[in-house]
Chain A
């Protein structure tokens, strides 16, 4: 099944997962690329996004699988036509014949940016680093059965804390992508919970790269 690599940035980040699927269904239609439809009572064009992205999170490594219903079209052609039919903030970077099996997708590289309007406090980087070097780190996670305490460290594969500018501390992390997945924003939640004096004025997140279990780039 062909696969799209796309990015979601700018105001595109406010489009929810379900709305993004509808956006792509329409974009394929507008691009003159009819999609295969689901079977059943009410056939719908099928697209499938590998890892649903939370509203507000940027990404430069989103994957979407699709199947065309009609004559074959060159992959570069599909990319060009889709980008004509999409909106600002959702951009196709590549379209390719067949990707790896999604179950081999294991890790997610991401950056969580902590913004301090008055400048990153002294000792902040060290304190944050130390926080993630404990034996366990319980964070409250909203689940189906209400909030639950969860140790996030087993799902955190690596973490690099760097100050990128005077006001931003970046947590460059590699986290578990599925079974179970770690929502990277929980890293910011951990800082807010355990280092309340270092609570940032704003935190946001960006998915940077996908990896398999061996740490190789996943496409």
Chain B
């Protein structure tokens, strides 16, 4: 007779994402496995399988003897409903065993709006949500990813966090767990020991206290010897670090359906709103030879016909020219199309774009983020109008007729003049097309998108207030009224979601009950329009007596103790404060390559210098 799951699968969308069995999936003999890890990605299969961090750590863990790391993704709503109706607990893809049977449950969290998925996945697995409700070593929950840089909203649920790059620390953590399980340690014993591993943060070892006005007054260690500062981990030498060149090839289409090669880590730019730009420092490169070797292995193992070079700003990769000289002939011979996103509008990149065009014509995308030079100086986005227009002119004369321009609304110090500056910049792009287009018959399409600025921890804007959703919508309407051309297609992010993102990004432990309440009321897959329900969230806030504005429109005082202050991502708080003041003065800070601005991240490097 057909099994329960096999009967459910025909009734749900995209069933292939629930069965595993893809090419290069890791299977192990359960008899040889001492520690089972359920590696959970708090979003759907298509998103999770596109995540490089997950692929790296999946490989790292499965390289270990006696460890079997298996993947778990959030089910789509139809599958969740079928699971609940049929009493089917959440399972891992490789063995199809329930998550509840696993020793360790790991999450990688890159987006605040997936917090409810973390809780919902635990719920669907039948695992108690709160750390305090889980006894013993079994079902220990740990988490990493950029959201762990302010772990407090999840502090009640996650036993410990692993901060920063996990290539090395994950091995240390699993080895310790292996020993602990072997020797039958208590959970408390294990947590005390794991806290000694660099980059590991155990939230239950600290108590948070608050002033009458609601701001944080103290973070009190509850045990002797627990660190007051937890420094994220980094890989020193990327050339020697593990990279997944033999990696799972999904049997169903995912978001980034191509081979992915990370060319370097960190960013030299210092855009003041960008969390990755600061929290991923210091800059470390990979050598072109290593990259070329890995590219060939990746493509041969996967059978892909597209290779993507990824980083925060690929134009800033020092070995780009050399790497391209190696990759171009290979890609031409093997009919591989090469995609290089996040190119800057400089001369070399323009030449590169022209060369890439011979392989494949990709879109022309700019992220000026702000409409006026004044505001771009404030946010330290050193992209000038001239650079944009010159690149556009080149592209238009070469036959391109499609431009995407990304902006943010609600940036610190933004005025209506800055908002209208966006419309003016778009107008000049259209004028440039009229003056330079080689073929006007096909017309021009300018896609303009605005996002709602979300202040993030560990950036110079971490103290900033967020404007209200109403004010954001006023600016959206103001901008919309000033687009006169039919060539412009304008889209904007919904403010409700970005408001919640801001709450969770800078949230503290008092948001734990709100998350729990929201999930109880049915919140999950909040990053998806189909499921996001703002009113449900507002009800959850009200039920818990938490005011979301405390975390958004209030702004944080510069002398205020911040929930994420104990987390050290490398850049110092002094530097961030300095950068904030420079922003107010409209002073740009040159990129790291033109002079070190003393962020402090270079002190994390041993033996080698910062490659900025």
Q: Would you call B21 and A11 a contact (CB within 8 A)?
A: yes
Q: Would you call A115 and B305 a contact (CB within 8 A)?
A: no
Chain B residues near A28: list those with CB within 8 A.
303
Chain A residues near B19: list those with CB within 8 A.
11, 14
Interface centre among B9, B252, B253 (most CB of A within 10 A): B252
B531 interface residue per 8 A CB criterion: no
Interface centre among A15, A42, A117 (most CB of B within 10 A): A15
Q: Would you call A43 and B303 a contact (CB within 8 A)?
A: no
A23 interface residue per 8 A CB criterion: yes
Total interface residues on B, CB under 8 Å, equals 29
In-complex Cβ contact of A26 among B2, B7, B20, B303 (8 A): B303
Interface centre among B16, B302, B360 (most CB of A within 10 A): B16
Interface centre among B14, B19, B301 (most CB of A within 10 A): B19
Q: Which residue of B lies closest to A55 (CB)?
A: B15
B289 interface residue per 8 A CB criterion: no
Q: Would you call B9 and A14 a contact (CB within 8 A)?
A: yes
Q: How long is the Cα–Cα vector from A218 to B408 in the complex, in angstroms? A: 61
Given known pairs A11-B19, A25-B305, A85-B23, the reply for A19 and B253 (CB within 8 Å) is: yes
In-complex Cβ contact of A42 among B9, B23, B249, B360 (8 A): B360
A167 interface residue per 8 A CB criterion: yes
Q: Which of B253-307 contact A (CB under 8 A)?
A: 253, 300-305
A193 interface residue per 8 A CB criterion: no
| B11 CB to nearest A CB, Å | 9
Q: Which residue of A lies closest to B27 (CB)?
A: A88
Q: Would you call A56 and B253 a contact (CB within 8 A)?
A: no
A22 interface residue per 8 A CB criterion: yes
| B307 CB to nearest A CB, Å | 13
Q: Would you call B335 and A43 a contact (CB within 8 A)?
A: yes
Chain A residues near B249: list those with CB within 8 A.
26
Q: Would you call B303 and A85 a contact (CB within 8 A)?
A: yes
| A122 CB to nearest B CB, Å | 19
| A147 CB to nearest B CB, Å | 18
| B161 CB to nearest A CB, Å | 35
Interface centre among B21, B303, B361 (most CB of A within 10 A): B303
Q: Which of A173-217 contact B (CB under 8 A)?
A: 202, 204
A98 interface residue per 8 A CB criterion: no
Binary contact readout B207-239 vs A (1 if CB under 8 angstroms, 0 otherwise): 000000000000000000000000000000000
Chain A residues near B80: list those with CB within 8 A.
none
Q: Would you call A87 and B304 a contact (CB within 8 A)?
A: no
Q: Which residue of A lies closest to B10 (CB)?
A: A56
Binary contact readout A18-38 vs B (1 if CB under 8 angstroms, 0 otherwise): 110011011111100010010
Q: How long is the Cα–Cα vector from A115 to B4 in the complex, in angstroms? A: 12
| B295 CB to nearest A CB, Å | 14
In-complex Cβ contact of A30 among B10, B300, B334, B360 (8 A): B300
A148 interface residue per 8 A CB criterion: no
Pair count A-B, CB < 8 A: 75
Q: How long is the Cα–Cα vector from A35 to B335 in the complex, in angstroms? A: 10
| B184 CB to nearest A CB, Å | 37
A48 interface residue per 8 A CB criterion: no
Q: Which residue of B lies closest to A185 (CB)?
A: B10
A163 interface residue per 8 A CB criterion: no
| B214 CB to nearest A CB, Å | 50
Q: Would you call B2 and A56 a contact (CB within 8 A)?
A: no
Q: Would you call A29 and B303 a contact (CB within 8 A)?
A: yes
Q: Would you call B335 and A15 a contact (CB within 8 A)?
A: no
Chain B residues near A55: list those with CB within 8 A.
10, 15-16
Q: How long is the Cα–Cα vector from A28 to B300 in the complex, in angstroms? A: 11
Total interface residues on A, CB under 8 Å, equals 36
Chain A residues near B18: list those with CB within 8 A.
14
Chain A residues near B2: list those with CB within 8 A.
115, 202, 204
Q: Would you call B302 and A30 a contact (CB within 8 A)?
A: yes
Chain A residues near B252: list those with CB within 8 A.
15-16, 19
A89 interface residue per 8 A CB criterion: yes
B1 interface residue per 8 A CB criterion: yes
Binary contact readout B360-373 vs A (1 if CB under 8 angstroms, 0 otherwise): 11000000000000
Q: How long is the Cα–Cα vector from A194 to B2 in the complex, in angstroms? A: 24
Q: Would you call A19 and B335 a contact (CB within 8 A)?
A: no
B597 interface residue per 8 A CB criterion: no
In-complex Cβ contact of B21 among A29, A45, A85, A89 (8 A): A89
Chain A residues near B337: list those with CB within 8 A.
42
Given known pairs A85-B23, A87-B21, A88-B21, the reply for A19 and B16 (CB within 8 Å) is: yes
Chain A residues near B414: list those with CB within 8 A.
none
Q: Which residue of B lies closest to A69 (CB)?
A: B335
Q: How long is the Cα–Cα vector from A28 to B335 in the complex, in angstroms? A: 14
Binary contact readout A31-72 vs B (1 if CB under 8 angstroms, 0 otherwise): 000100100011111000000000110000000000000000
B22 interface residue per 8 A CB criterion: yes
By Cβ-Cβ distance, the 8 closest A-B pairs, closest first, are: A26-B303, A29-B303, A30-B303, A11-B19, A56-B10, A14-B15, A14-B16, A19-B252
Instruction: Give 7 new A-B contacts, CB below 8 A, not counting A14-B9, A87-B23.
Output: A11-B21, A16-B14, A16-B16, A16-B252, A19-B252, A30-B23, A44-B305
Supply 7 A–B pairs (Cβ within 8 Å), ascending by A: A11-B21, A19-B252, A26-B249, A26-B304, A27-B303, A42-B360, A85-B303
